[in-house]
Structure 1
Amino acid sequence: MYIRPRKRRRSNPWRVLFLLILIAGALYAYTLIQRRQIENPFTPTPTPTRSAYFYREEAEALYIQGDLEGAIQAYEQAVRLAPDDVDLYVPLVRLLVLKGRPDEAVVWGERGVDVAPESAPAWAVLGLAYDWVGRVPDAIEACLRAVELGPAYAEAYAYLAEAYTDDRRVEKGLEAAQKALELAPRSVDAYRAYGYVLEHLGNWSGAIEAYRKGLEVHPYLAHLYLDIGRNYLALADTASALEAFRRAVELDPNRADALDQLGWAYFAIQDYELAQSYLEQAIEVDPNYAPAYGHLATTYWVRRNYESAIPNFEKAIDLAYQAARRKAYGFSITVESAQEPSLYPSPDVVLEGELAWGDERRTRLAATLEPSVYLEGNEETGGRVTLDVLSGRYSLFVHGLPSLPADQVYVGWFQGLEALDGTPFNTGPLPVTADGGVEFEGRAEPVRGPRIEHFYTLGLCYFYMAQCERAYPLFDAALQIDPEEPNALEGIRLCQEAEGTPVPTPTP
């Protein structure tokens, strides 16, 4: 019998496709599970975003431990998260000052009063910052504003005491410091201000006692040990000064001024090797800390290592110039007599403007110049000035100046910047084109800032290196500061004698 083969069913292509997709999905799921089993143990657990409150708490804890740098960083984070909270600006500005960064403190302090113009603490701490950058009149004004807004705010009186003392009104400083202690007998800043006033009154033992009272409140503040050490040096108690400076370095080993003062104390007892070691560490910590260069240069000088002393003296002088230029706060153009040298600006101000930082790195100051009362109604006159604080070079562009009689000239003045002899630094007569324009470039140097002994000692280094041509300008700079400086006069005599130049015989 013939049996026919069974007829096969034809496969449904859609069913096949569905099965393939299902299999592929299962394989993918299996692979994903396997990957997760491997990767999950190494995946970090998500954490909530830190708040301004968190950083503030962290900053306060770090401050209690004496870690000012860590506290500053935490406060900066907090301010970024809560830029309208003035209570974050106040401790940040204060710690920047105490850490030796007053320029940054001024920036944050001015932001603080912008955020809260009626805040007594904001004005007080801005006054502290102004005082530490040498803007003493502004410091007093800011502190008085703080006292007006908060008559019971102790720190306003403490910072005012410091500013009054720097303004040579020590008696008023003493009154303010005593008021601060009366309002807050447990205020570290009140004790520091009181000690500062006593120090300037020559009561060094009393100053030490006041600073130690501050340490009883907060025993981990390096700057108070520096204050104590400085006063022990004034009492010629070098052993106690060294102990205080060592403690400051222990508390803050990366603090340039602590390393510098410890090194300088070793210099005082003629331990020049240890002095050199600590001074070099100070420069390594902060390559822009001018006092350490001056002290290191002096250490090389007494060891007769003139080759090493010279670049360090030059660096100290250059950094002091930069620091002086940073204090410039305004620029003006006045009308002056062409017949007499312009030592001080006349009241006939034509253009003026406030200098402000023109870049984030704070290396360039700039001001837009606008007509003053002298040119009231003349809207066509204006200009701009920029000052590079690192190099000292400045550029001035003016348009629309009225023509002057032949016996008068225009002169530019930098407010807050002085020549070596103490007179306001000026541009000299400005060249004005026929259409009233000025395009002028100059250099704000030399200016008052470097220590006089750095000038004449550097000059003597060059003398001993047989380079009197480089020594003379340095002796001259010292004599501009003090026309009777004996070391500069002696340096000139030595150079003239070495060169065979006749030396004038003093008249009996």
Structure 2
Amino acid sequence: MFILLCIVIVIAVMRDYTSGKIWPPFVPTPTPTRTVNSFLVEGDTHFQAGNLDAAIDSYNKAILLEPENVDVRVNLARIQVYSSASLTTDQERRDRLADALAVVDEARELAPQNADALAVRSFVLNWSANPALAGDRTKELRNAAEADALAAIQLDSSNALAKAYYAEVLIDQFKWGQAQDYIAQARENGEHLMDVRRVQAFVYEVLQEYNLAIEWYQKAIDVTPNLTFLYIRVGTLYRHNGGDVNFEIALEYFAKAANLNSQLGIEDPIPYMAIANTYIRMGEAMIASRNAYRALSINPYNPSTYGQVGVIYYKARNYEGAEMVLKCAVTGCNAEESCLAREEDPCQSDITTEKLPLSDSTVVYYYIYGSVLAGLHRSGQDDRCALASEVFKEIRERYYDTSNEFTRTVLGIVSASENICGITPGQVFSTPVPTRDYISTPTPQPTETPLVIPTFTPTP
């Protein structure tokens, strides 16, 4: 009887093994393979949540599974462009936009007649054509963006994204009337799209219809309520309108951006910079400085953050504090100097910063740093004018075309500060005073006499 029972059990086990109900011992249990669609859903969810880096990661995983899927590449490139809005240095933005261009170029190679691929390529090229990023290639990239947008519209005359992106190109080419025509066409069948609403807001913003711009940025937020750069734009426009009520509303939008980042675990200094600049406009220098310091603590490795904080300290009339922070942006800082700039006492970190290359977007740090050095100089007591002359010489070597209004403004600021130090333009000032020991510098205190240094670079 026992033998018969054993035979029955063995037969049952063999049947279940053959049918797959019983898995062999010591063999790992199989796990379900992720599908392309699952990664796309995940990526879209991250995008809607405002976590663009996570969305990019999900889309890249989808491409690994289906490398010839054109739509995946097109959507990835679009997300990469929007993610560049939250990066703080020119080089980071260039790199992200270069990644987007590489992705959309692959999509175009796979499907040369795909209207969406051409439309998004136009979007990538136009954002890459920002003069602060592209320099002499701005016109070339802008023309290429225009050509791709027109090609997309010719292939698909109902493509709302192509028309919206073309309107954005036209605005950047100062073709206001055509831009209004194309964004109106885009709205006919694409008003539900965030991109269309955002470009409509941008068109109104450039045309100085600020209340309408706010309305359309808010409509874009209604579609994608977790994209922080949209909140930053609305807040900036309210701040531009001025007045206590508008300042308070601006702060609410900037706070929403900061809170969204906090919920997602994203360390982004931009909302705190925007808050600090608003408090400066409100005359609240101490609160502004605290928010600037918060931004610096979030990203202490980024020299651009030091530069932005330095400008805020300058506006708050904390000139000694601005001097050290701007040094970390303009010339770079060793670990001890960066500790001093961040007021880390005792110094326990080994954070250094590299010099920011001089460009149209960083020159504001250079001329304010040089002007602060000149304003704080005490003859026979320090070497600030010698340091200032080196900064001004570098500026003059790059900005010499006085037919350009931007250059004339920069050189006007430089000349005024050179006069303070008695510096001959283009020459390095010499001094017998030894280099100062920054580490022994006393705690920065605001200077009573304001240094009047015009700032024309827009800030968040």
Displacement of 1:212: 1.3
- For CA contacts below 8 A with separation 6 or more, give which structure has more relative contact order: 2
Secondary structure of residue in 2 paired with 1:118: coil
Distance 2:58 2:149 in 1: 26
The equivalent position to 2:98 in structure 1, one of 98, 103, 107, is: 103
Secondary structure, counterpart of 1:151 in structure 2: coil
When Rg is computed on C-alpha atoms for both structures, the one with the higher figure is 1
Q: 1:82 to 1:315 in 2, by over 3 A?
A: farther
Q: Distance in 2 between matches of 1:41 and 1:233?
A: 68
Q: CA RMSD in A?
A: 3.4
Q: Quickly say closer, same or farther: Cα 1:273–1:106, change in 2 above 3 A.
A: farther
Q: Classify 1:461/1:202 alpha carbon distance in 2 versus 1 (closer, same or farther; 3 Å).
A: same
Letter in 2 for 1:171: G
Which of 38, 60, 66 lines up with 1:76 in the alignment? 60
Paired residues of 1:90 and 1:122 also in contact (CA < 8 A)? yes
Q: Quick one: which of 233, 255, 275 aligns to 1:246?
A: 255
Aligned-partner Cα distance in 2 for 1:44–1:252 = 39
Q: Is the contact made by 1:317 and 1:450 (CA closer than 8 Å) also made in structure 2?
A: no
Q: 1:78 to 1:280 in 2, by over 3 A?
A: farther
The counterpart of 1:182, out of the listed 176, 180, 188, is 188
Cα distance change on mapping 1:307 and 1:104 into 2, 3 Å: farther
The worse-fitting range, judged by mean Cα deviation, of 40-49 and 448-457 is 40-49
- The alpha-carbon deviation at position 285 of structure 1 amounts to 4.9
Name the amino acid aligned to 1:167. Answer: Q
Partner of 1:459: 370
- CA contact 1:147–1:153 (8 Å) conserved in 2: yes
Distance 1:212 1:459 in 2: 40
Conservation of the 8 A alpha-carbon contact between 1:264 and 1:295: no
Match in the other structure for 2:407: 482
Deviation of 1:475 (Å): 3.4
The answer as to 2:305 corresponding to 1:292 is yes
- The secondary structure found in structure 1 opposite 2:422 is helix
Deviation per residue, 1:75-119 (Å, 9 max, x gap)? 111112211101111221111111224333222222222222211
1:90 corresponds to: 74
Q: 2:418 aligns with which of 467, 470, 492?
A: 492
**TM-score for both structures, normalised by structure 2:** 0.65
Q: 1:70 to 1:241 in 2, by over 3 A?
A: same
Correspondent of 1:204 among 204, 210, 213: 210
2:282 to 260, 269, 280: 269
- Conserved 8 A contact 1:316-1:450: no
Q: Relative to structure 1, is the Cα distance of residues 467 and 65 closer, same or farther in structure 2, using a 3 angstrom cutoff? A: closer
1:224 positional shift = 1.7
Q: Which residue of 2 aligns with 1:449?
A: 360
Superposed counterparts of 1:431-442, under 5 Å: none
- The answer to whether the 8 Å contact 2:280/2:315 transfers is no
Report if aligned partners of 2:231, 2:256 keep a CA contact under 8 Å in 1.
yes
Identity of aligned residues (%): 26
Within a 5 Å distance, the mapping from 1:344-363 to structure 2 comes to none
Equivalent position SS for 1:152: coil
Shift of 1:141: 2.0
Return the match for 1:155 from 161, 173, 178.
161
Q: Within 2, Cα distance between the matches of 1:275 and 1:290?
A: 19
Write the mapping of 1:136-155 to structure 2, written as runs, cut at 5 A: 136-155=142-161
Judging changes above 3 Å, is the alpha-carbon distance between structure 1 residues 318 and 201 closer, same or farther for their aligned structure 2 residues? farther
AA of the residue aligned to 2:47: Y
Alpha-carbon separation, structure 2, partners of 1:41 and 1:306: 73
The answer to which structure has the higher helix fraction is 2
Deviates more, 1:214-223 or 1:123-132: 214-223
1:230–1:241 CA contact under 8 A, matched in 2: yes
Aligned to 2:438: none
1:257 to 235, 257, 270: 270
Instruction: Say if 2:328 and 2:355, in contact at 8 Å, map to a contact too.
Output: no
Question: Contact 2:296 / 2:309 at 8 angstroms: preserved in 1?
Answer: no
State the Cα distance separating 1:225 from its structure 2 match.
1.2
2:220 equivalent to 1:220: no
1:55 aligned partner: 39
